[in-house]
């Protein structure tokens, strides 16, 4: 699938016209990662956006429920 066509299918870009999508596609790059690859961790600077075309993503987030409760871990698979 062409990158611009994939971007057009993403809800986050639905307000962009074809020319804008083409400009975005020109600066985007397609990457593939092996199962279990760590793309980023908590505290890393946010310098990229990842769009998943195929596969699954596992997100894990630490949360502190206050001074009387120990920190918990929250996980999601998309």
Q: Are the C-beta atoms of residues 2 and 28 closer than 8 Å to each other?
A: no
Number of H helices, E strands in the chain: 2, 2
Question: The pTM is what?
Answer: 0.62
Which position has the higher pLDDT, 1 or 21? Answer: 21
By residue range, what is the domain housing residue 15? 3-77
The residue whose two tokens read 């429920």 is 65
How far apart CA 68 and CA 55 sit, in angstroms, is 39
pLDDT of res. 62: 75
Reported as a single tens digit per residue, the pLDDT across 17-36 is 999 999 999 999 999 999 99
The C-alpha angle 35, 56, 38, rounded to 5 degrees, equals: 45
Look at the chain and report how many structural domains it folds into: 1
């Amino acid at each position: 699938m062409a990158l611009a066509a994939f971007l057009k299918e993403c809800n986050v870009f639905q307000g962009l016209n074809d020319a804008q999508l083409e400009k975005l596609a020109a600066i985007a790059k397609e990457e593939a990662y092996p199962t279990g690859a760590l793309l980023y961790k908590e505290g890393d600077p946010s310098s990229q956006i990842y769009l998943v075309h195929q596969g699954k993503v596992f997100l894990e987030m630490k949360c502190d429920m206050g001074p009387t409760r120990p920190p918990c871990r929250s996980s999601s698979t998309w």
